[in-house]
């Protein structure tokens, strides 16, 4: 995506203050803007964090 350098710098500062990456900040800002316009989106599918559950050996 091509952005004005000043706009990109502002997004970087905003992302840093929210402890997000620039990509996550752009996504958040876009979702907020669409919500204000009444556009409904499905919740994003986020992968589960942490260790996968332990698999029991022996079929129990």
User: How many percent of the chain have pLDDT more than 70?
Assistant: 95
Which residue, 48, 45, 8, is CA-closest to 29? 8
Q: Is the pTM of this model over 0.75?
A: no
**Measured distance CA(35)–CA(55) in Å, rounded:** 41
Spell out a b/e string for 22-59, using b for 16 or more CB atoms within 10 Å of the CB, else e: eeebbeeeeeeeeeeeeeeeeeeeeeeeeeeeeeeeee
Q: What is the mean pLDDT of the chain?
A: 90
Q: What is the pLDDT of residue 56?
A: 81
């Amino acid at each position: 995506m091509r952005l004005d350098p000043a706009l990109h710098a502002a997004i970087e500062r905003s992302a840093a203050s929210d402890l997000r990456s620039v990509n996550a900040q752009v996504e958040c800002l876009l979702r907020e803007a669409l919500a204000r316009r009444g556009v409904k989106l499905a919740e994003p599918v986020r992968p589960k964090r942490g260790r996968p559950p332990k698999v029991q050996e022996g079929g129990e």
